[in-house]
Structure 1
């Protein structure tokens, strides 16, 4: 199950979520049963339309897509986006993402891995709907957080997905699920260069050309708006998908993690690898690990896995 705030196909939007969907479909070790959408990179209606459009381009229009949360759990702030004029608006499956998640996991206890590559609102809502949701999962993989550093950005002190809905992240961390967290510590190391994107754009393969065009445009956007001189962009979300069948690509450390919901530190992850913990008076109180955090990545092996699987897509 892939929970995504997909924006590939909208000018000036990030593209790694589209590659994550493509990899989830291409990896022979993954059977993609459901895609859910969430407010994040763009508004949820745009994310839903772009997801359905991309599935059409990928030749997988029958993969079920269910629309999810329109805004974060607590703070009434919804992202805004725009849908390109040439995108056909298709209807997703009826219902809400959180309910669809619960239904699929109830029908297949212990068999479903959820990969969440957007804000965790849908996952948190599923946890609220069904007290057994957490323990009924096979596993939960999350793209989000910074664990050994910080964003150095006062306007967005936490990593984007966690910053968007820190209360949802807190609900997941308190749920009893020991999720695999793939954060900026490792995702910023796996990248696509602009020259590579331009070669992709010139391909005769439909998805490759489409993805290459929007990847080059995204790198140009970053160079113009955010990071002058940058010539590449990170593959955050595909690395989380790769972790499902290739966890060996990453180095993992157990930790007890909490998330700040305060304004000044919104979305900042407090990561205790020692699991030392402390009581209200500051005295030591050991804490159980509630997260497995990726702290290293084999970049060459990820690139091989990523590119070999994408070659299978027309």
Structure 2
């Protein structure tokens, strides 16, 4: 079987870890590298969290690259998701066996992206589950980078102007609006976007969560520990990130990963040009869907609207086996 080649860019919080473990468990996927970006927590924590996930999955041979530690303009560096993921990004669970950061590669993440895509032209799927700073840097360093990758899967943005960190802004895009703008307007490869509303609309039940988390494996034990903080945050019904998020279990980043792994996962999508608002007082960081073609953009994206939840459940369960 020919392997699907993946590059994965993360700001490794709990749902990034869940998405990574989904990809690591997929026998048809070969991960060429994991690049780290600021976002849910500091870049140091992100790198260490990725190493922890690889360690628990016995896949420490996969190279990890440190990337951007702040947004392109540096004006949103105070945004983080410690309230949800914990200060360290993985639920603030002590881990005396945590790998040393010396295992992180010396090459910068954006340079590694360009190099790996050049080594496997037209073969690599890029999955981005955090702010898009590294992707913006990569295309600025090599304008042909988008033509070298096979496709791009993004968790980020919104399609109904519903925000989770501002009135109209989703976390990943609002963390670096300029980077999101560059990626959505410059990347011309096939692009698939799992938005905030899409993930919330396709939540999993807490019954499934319990079945998933209580599997008798070391991976499930790890996930039980790191997810406890986030699960409690959701169950307490915080309105800070939207009422729909409280209906069930939502592993946001895993939806983008599932789409990359199994093409049957996405059953309906809106194919249109997309962009990001940079100047609005209330709407900075909001993704804009150009349904009527007024932007006259050639590049279009597939904005996911419906999915096969049986496929998603299968991939989620396999992640912790």
| TM-score, normalisation: structure 2 | 0.84
Shift of 1:256: 1.0
Does the aligned pair in 2 maintain the 1:189–1:299 contact within 8 Å?
Answer: no
Q: 2:10 aligns with which of 4, 14, 39?
A: 4
CA distance in structure 2 between the partners assigned to 1:196 and 1:100 by the alignment: 37
Measured in 2, the distance between the counterparts of 1:125 and 1:150 equals 26
**Residue 115 of structure 2, aligned match among 103, 112, 120:** 103
- What's the secondary structure of 1:115's corresponding residue? strand
Other structure's SS at 2:270 match: strand
CA 200–214 in structure 1, closer or farther in 2 if over 3 Å, else same: farther
Could you say which residue in structure 1 is the equivalent of 2:152?
A: 140
Counterpart-to-counterpart distance in 1, 2:75 and 2:20: 28
Question: 1:248: Cα distance to partner?
Answer: 2.4
Matched with 2:83 is none
What is the aligned partner in structure 2 of residue 296 from structure 1? 306
Is the partner of 1:294 in helix, strand or coil? strand
- Which residue is equivalent to 2:319? 310
1:1-314 correspondence runs (5 A): 1-7=7-13, 15-78=14-77, 79=79, 81-82=87-88, 84-87=93-96, 88-90=98-100, 91=102, 92-147=104-159, 149-151=160-162, 155-177=166-188, 178-224=190-236, 226-227=238-239, 230=246, 232-250=248-266, 251-262=268-279, 263-277=281-295, 286-307=296-317, 309-310=318-319, 313=321
Structure 1 stretches lacking a partner, 5+ long: 8-14, 278-285
Q: TM-score with structure 1 length normalisation?
A: 0.86
**Partners of 1:275 and 1:289 within 8 A in 2:** no
Larger radius of gyration: 1
- Deviation of residue 176 (structure 1)? 3.8
Q: 2:84 matched to which residue of 1?
A: none
Name the CA distance, whole Å, in 2 between partners of 1:200 and 1:242: 16
Q: Which runs of 5+ in 2 are unaligned?
A: 1-6, 81-86
How many positions carry a matched residue from both structures?
295
Distance 2:251 2:61 in 1: 26
Q: In 1, distance between residues paired with 2:12 and 2:167?
A: 20
Q: Structure 1 residue 234: deviation in Å?
A: 0.7
Distance 2:94 2:236 in 1: 24
**Counterpart of 1:114 in 2: which secondary structure?**
strand
Residue 194 of structure 1: CA displacement?
Answer: 4.1
